[in-house]
């Protein structure tokens, strides 16, 4: 996911500016000349009547800019009179920094959204949140690594619908035991699969202090290491955080953009197991299939045996923000596009969302992941406890509004 | 005049707008914005692209290239709108508060690798099964004088820091990010003994190498610099690019937005730089790897980069490495005084273990950590054999295999004592140290005391301490690292270590070889 993508061609005429009246008048006179241009714009679906007002939404978001920066989403939003200007930062950062001047913030998960909604509620300025989709946390890796884990009885291949499966189920407990035991990839015999790597077996996550995926992975590890239970009290949470800290800090200085690093051409060397969101992986497979006609069978997913879903929340801070929130949770075209970008869309009118995604992948001969309702689902500790654990594990400064 | 814009102008403008449709962001038409950019010297190669950037976006970047750009703290960055560096890792560690939360956009990547003269590469490969070279192999070859390399000063240059961390991580051999305890002893002396060229920045290093090709046969730098140098025609012989298997560090040349009020211009610049066609241009001009996964890479940039090591997240670790690295112009070879117990109880298996340990340190240990901790060029080594008294003392300076043979011969010789005079031997070691320091005060020195029994002859511990206290300051600063073996007196050895600022290691926990390796480079 490039952090900055070139914007799609847009009709610049329509930007609200003091000159608009003048332009409108001029346009009427000049119409015969640019008519070819207008026709082209109409054909590409970019047409906006010069009279329609385009609102620029100021937004802060983390990984979910993948959705808002998609050219098709940009086009659809423009059709509804929105342009979104995104300031990028990690989800926990979004909650920590001033949100004045923004119309919406879109942290990638519930904890950061809760920090914001609580703070606003305390200040007697409650906000509405919109939850257009969910996406599980996954460990994205490469075939050799998944196979090495499988050879050690730590992962098993999912038998799914058609094609070479891209999905494995990872026994989190055994996986974390490898890290705790100081095992390296060479040490677990990855050479048999044609790779040499003297690094320790662990999953690299984004910065725990800044990102939702990092904090959520911490919550997942804590849950697994605490016998499938989230800690309930502060002393319990603190003890557990100290206990799991070694499992999470041995990756050293985290790189900023885990998915981008993993999906880059050098990903196998620099980020062989990365904690990312399912939608980021699926979006890659969908794009790869569109270009090559077959899925990328080198890049595969490890689904933790203990699952954890994330629920990004669009927090509307202004009336325009609310309109945007309404739109993305109700507009069928946008919801369909979200699915095409690998999201599990929340649809209030039916519960067939996973089915739709599965069908969509199936039509493209991309194997679909099998998730069972029987999987253990991890729950995050209560917010103040999670916050405390994040501070201990990442040596992070305290977040605003956690108490 | 309001509203009376000539028709033709309007028409022309409209057509132009509709046809181009994607360059102007609508905030001021052709108005040019000029941004001051704190840039690392590695960005010089992008200069030709900046005019195009200005034409396309209306933003002029005024690159102020500073050798210390990558280590400048917040106060020294005032007056700049952006920073464009090869790496912001040092700032993320040193200046965490002020760089975190800044808008950050990677623009291209390049790993730190090593370029080897063809003969050198061939010679190194011949010794390595499979021919895949590692940093450990480079360190090993540097220690024997087979490789003489150039590397930029890690205190300024991102490439130097990445190389230093890469080598140190490989030396620690844990497979994890370096911790403070991994760098408490300096394991890179052997590696550094092979450094013959340095410079403050990567471009200066490249120039220096081109000008002094007789002084080095290897260059540690960004892959992009080596590819460019090979293509420049400035080399008598091209360098073979080796990407060490055990530790790639990749830099991603980020642009940071220092002044948030320049956000609009920053967005235009970064969007433009990440367009596929521009990424392709950057790849051609700089030989750096595109960040866009959809750009087809030129052949040399398709080579796998090896495994990225886990970069440390503790400032103390990096500062310790930099302090040990010191001034690369300064001599770094040290001296070790080995006091070895040759009492009767060492006969047999224990003596075999001691000889094996010395053979390992002389180059026979082919493990990765062995290659880093071996004796190296220029190092001085003193071996003192003792029983109830000092039996023999020999000092050599390593210049080649012959010197090391002399050392192993000394250790291999028989002649055992019938008692164990631990404290007399240590006292002797400090006299030797005092003499050595008087003659050569800049050479770092440490004492290693290996014994397998309790003191039963010569000085008592209290007598040793009295004599130690009376030594000149420089000699008193020398630390002793006792190696506990067999029936040695743990408490007494720990006391001696604590007294002199050293640390005891127990060979019974691992092996004599491992124990010696563990304290190599401690001082």
* 3-state SS assignment for residue B486: coil
Report the percentage of chain A scoring pLDDT > 70: 83
The number of C-alpha atoms within 13 Å of B455 and in the hemisphere containing its C-beta is 19
Residues B101 and B47 in one domain: yes
What's the mean pLDDT in A134-155? Answer: 97
Residues B345 and B421 in one domain: yes
The pLDDT of residue B252: 94
The pLDDT of residue A71: 95
Residue A48 confidence (pLDDT) above 90: no
Contact: B14, A210; criterion CB under 8 Å: no
Search chain A and give the residue with CA nearest B89: A253
Instruction: Specify which residues A167 forms β-bridges with.
Output: A301
Residues B339 and B382 in one domain: yes
Residue B128 belongs to a domain: yes
Best residue in A28, A101, A209, A269 to probe B by mutation, most B CBs within 10 Å? A269
Contact: A11, B274; criterion CB under 8 Å: no
Residues B130 and B231 in one domain: yes
- Global pTM value: 0.86
Tell me which residue in A9, A29, A269 faces B304 most closely, judged by beta carbons.
A269
Residue A33 confidence (pLDDT) above 90: no
Distance CA A373, CA A371 (A): 7
**Using a CB-CB distance cutoff of 8 angstroms, which residues of chain B are in contact with residue A264?**
109, 291, 293
Residues B412 and B451 in one domain: yes
- Stretches where chain B sits below pLDDT 50 are 1-5, 7-8, 10-28
Report the percentage of chain A scoring pLDDT > 90: 69
Distance CA B154, CA B326 (A): 10
Residues B390 and B499 in one domain: yes
Specify the CATH number for the domain of residue B457.
Answer: 3.40.50.410
The pLDDT of residue A356: 82
Residues B195 and B257 in one domain: no
The pLDDT of residue B1: 40
The pLDDT of residue B112: 95
The pLDDT of residue B30: 60
A:B CB pairs within 8 Å:
155
Residues B321 and B339 in one domain: no
Q: Of chain B residues 421-480, which have a CB less than 8 A from chain A?
A: none
Q: What average pLDDT does the structure give for chain A?
A: 86
The pLDDT of residue A350: 52
How close does chain B come to A233, measured CA to CA in Å?
A: 29
Residue A314 confidence (pLDDT) above 70: yes
Q: Which domain holds residue B136?
A: 110-250+304-325
Residues B350 and B451 in one domain: yes
φ, ψ at B180 (rounded to 5°): -55, -40
**Residue in B258, B250, B160 with CA at minimum distance from that of residue B205:** B160
Contact: B271, A7; criterion CB under 8 Å: yes
Number of folded domains in chain B?
A: 3
Specify the CATH number for the domain of residue B119.
Answer: 3.40.190.10
Distance CA B319, CA B325 (A): 10
Q: Determine contact, residues B381/B195, Cβ cutoff 8 Å.
A: no
Any B CB within 8 A of A206 CB? no
Any A CB within 8 A of B278 CB? no
Residues B116 and B105 in one domain: no
Q: Of chain B residues 362-401, which have a CB less than 8 A from chain A?
A: 368
Any A CB within 8 A of B64 CB? no
Residues B450 and B350 in one domain: yes
Residues B316 and B390 in one domain: no
CA distances for B100 relative to A89, A207, B92, angstroms: 10, 11, 7
List pLDDT tens digits, range A55-91: 999 999 999 999 999 999 999 999 999 999 999 889 9
φ, ψ at A110 (rounded to 5°): -65, -40
Instruction: Specify which residues A134 forms β-bridges with.
Output: A344
Residue B18 belongs to a domain: no
Contact: A250, B93; criterion CB under 8 Å: no
How close does chain B come to A201, measured CA to CA in Å?
A: 9
Residue B269 belongs to a domain: yes
Distance CA A137, CA A203 (A): 12
Distance CA B127, CA B135 (A): 14
Residue A357 confidence (pLDDT) above 70: yes
Any A CB within 8 A of B8 CB? no
Architecture per CATH, A136-310+370-394: 3-Layer(aba) Sandwich (3.40)
How close does chain A come to B406, measured CA to CA in Å?
A: 35
Residue B22 belongs to a domain: no
The pLDDT of residue A51: 53
DSSP A49: -
Q: Of chain B residues 107-136, which have a CB less than 8 A from chain A?
A: 109, 111, 132
β-pair type (A306-307, A376-377): parallel
**Residue in A361, A386, A381, A384 with CA at minimum distance from that of residue A371:** A361
Residue B266 belongs to a domain: yes
**Using a CB-CB distance cutoff of 8 angstroms, which residues of chain A are in contact with residue B275?**
6
The pLDDT of residue A10: 41
Residue A381 confidence (pLDDT) above 80: yes
The pLDDT of residue B17: 47
């Amino acid at each position: 996911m490039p952090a900055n993508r070139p914007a799609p061609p847009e009709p610049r005429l329509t930007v609200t500016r003091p000159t608009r009246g003048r332009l409108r008048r001029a346009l009427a006179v000049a119409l015969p000349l640019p008519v070819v241009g207008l026709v082209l714009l109409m054909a590409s679906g970019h047409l906006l009547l010069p009279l329609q007002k385009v609102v620029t939404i100021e937004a802060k978001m983390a990984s979910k800019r993948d959705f808002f920066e998609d050219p098709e989403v940009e086009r659809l939003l423009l059709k509804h009179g929105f342009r979104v200007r995104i300031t990028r930062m990690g989800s926990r950062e979004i909650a920590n920094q001033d949100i004045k001047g923004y119309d919406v913030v879109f942290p990638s998960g519930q904890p950061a959204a809760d920090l914001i909604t609580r703070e606003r509620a305390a200040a007697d300025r409650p906000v509405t949140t919109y939850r257009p989709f969910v996406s599980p946390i996954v460990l994205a890796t490469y075939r050799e690594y998944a196979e090495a884990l499988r050879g050690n009885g730590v992962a098993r291949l999912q038998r799914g619908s058609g094609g070479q499966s891209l999905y494995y189920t990872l026994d989190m407990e055994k996986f974390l035991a490898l890290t705790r035991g100081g095992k390296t990839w060479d040490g677990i015999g990855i050479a048999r699969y044609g790779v040499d790597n003297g690094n320790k077996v662990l999953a690299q996550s984004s910065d725990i202090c800044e990102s939702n995926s990092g904090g959520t992975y911490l919550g997942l590890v804590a849950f697994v290491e605490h016998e499938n239970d989230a800690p309930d009290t502060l002393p319990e949470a603190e003890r557990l955080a100290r206990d799991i800290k070694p499992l999470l800090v041995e990756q050293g200085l985290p790189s900023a953009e885990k998915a981008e690093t993993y999906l880059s051409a050098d990903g196998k060397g620099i980020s062989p197991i990365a904690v990312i969101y399912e939608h980021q992986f699926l979006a890659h497979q969908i794009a790869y299939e569109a270009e090559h006609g077959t899925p990328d069978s080198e890049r595969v997913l490890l689904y933790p045996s203990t699952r954890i879903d994330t629920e990004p929340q669009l927090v509307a801070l202004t009336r325009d923000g609310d309109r945007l929130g309404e739109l993305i949770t109700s507009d069928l075209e946008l919801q369909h596009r979200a699915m095409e970008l690998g999201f599990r869309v929340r649809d209030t009118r039916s519960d067939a969302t996973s089915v739709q995604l599965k069908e969509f992948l199936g039509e493209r001969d991309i194997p679909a992941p099998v998730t069972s309702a029987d999987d253990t689902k991890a729950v995050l500790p209560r917010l103040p406890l999670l916050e405390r654990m994040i501070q201990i594990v990442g040596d992070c400064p305290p977040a605003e509004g956690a108490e | 005049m309001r509203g009376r814009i000539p028709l033709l102008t309007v028409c022309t403008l409209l057509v132009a707008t509709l046809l181009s449709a994607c360059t102007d962001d609508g905030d001021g038409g052709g108005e040019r914005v000029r941004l001051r950019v704190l840039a690392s010297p590695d960005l010089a190669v992008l200069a030709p692209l900046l005019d195009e950037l200005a034409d396309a976006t209306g933003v002029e970047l005024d690159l102020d290239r500073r050798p210390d750009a990558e280590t400048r703290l917040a106060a020294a960055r005032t007056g700049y709108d952006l920073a464009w560096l090869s790496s912001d890792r040092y700032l993320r560690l040193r200046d965490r508060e002020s760089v975190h939360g800044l808008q950050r956009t990677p623009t291209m990547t390049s790993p730190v690798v090593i370029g080897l003269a063809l003969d050198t590469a061939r010679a190194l490969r011949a010794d390595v099964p499979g021919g895949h070279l590692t940093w450990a192999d480079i360190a090993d070859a540097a220690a024997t004088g087979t490789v003489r390399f150039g590397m930029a000063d890690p205190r300024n240059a991102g490439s130097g820091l990445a190389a230093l961390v890469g080598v140190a991580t490989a030396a620690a051999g844990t497979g994890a990010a370096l911790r403070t305890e991994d760098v408490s002893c300096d394991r890179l002396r052997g590696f550094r003994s092979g450094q013959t060229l340095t410079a403050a920045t990567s471009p200066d290093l490249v120039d220096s190498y081109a000008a002094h090709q007789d002084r080095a046969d290897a260059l540690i730098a960004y892959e992009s610099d080596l590819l460019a140098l090979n293509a420049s025609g400035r080399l008598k012989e091209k360098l073979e690019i080796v990407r060490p298997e055990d530790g790639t560090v990749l830099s991603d040349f980020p642009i940071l937005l220092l002044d948030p009020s320049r956000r609009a211009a920053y967005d235009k610049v970064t969007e433009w730089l990440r367009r596929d066609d521009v990424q392709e241009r950057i790849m051609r001009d700089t030989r750096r790897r595109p960040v866009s996964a959809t750009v087809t890479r030129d052949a040399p940039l398709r080579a796998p980069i090896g495994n990225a090591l886990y970069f440390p997240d503790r400032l103390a670790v990096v500062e310790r490495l930099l302090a040990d690295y010191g001034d690369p112009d300064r001599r770094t070879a040290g001296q070790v005084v080995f006091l070895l117990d040759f009492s009767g109880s060492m006969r047999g298996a224990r003596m075999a273990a001691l000889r094996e340990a010395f053979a390992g340190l002389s180059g026979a240990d082919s493990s990765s950590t062995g290659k880093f901790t071996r004796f190296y060029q220029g190092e001085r080594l003193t071996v003192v054999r003792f029983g109830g008294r000092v039996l023999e003392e020999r000092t050599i300076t390593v210049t080649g295999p012959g010197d090391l043979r002399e050392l192993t011969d000394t250790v291999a010789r028989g002649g055992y004592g019938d008692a164990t005079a631990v404290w007399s031997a240590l006292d002797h070691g400090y006299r030797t140290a005092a003499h050595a320091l008087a003659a050569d005060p800049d050479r770092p020195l440490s004492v290693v005391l290996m014994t397998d029994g309790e003191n039963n002859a010569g000085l008592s511990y209290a007598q040793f301490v009295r004599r130690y206290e009376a030594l000149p300051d420089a000699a008193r600063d020398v630390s002793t690292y006792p190696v506990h073996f067999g029936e040695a007196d743990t408490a007494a050895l720990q006391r001696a270590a604590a007294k002199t600022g050293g640390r005891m290691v127990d060979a019974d926990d691992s092996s004599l070889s491992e124990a010696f390796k563990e304290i190599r480079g401690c001082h």
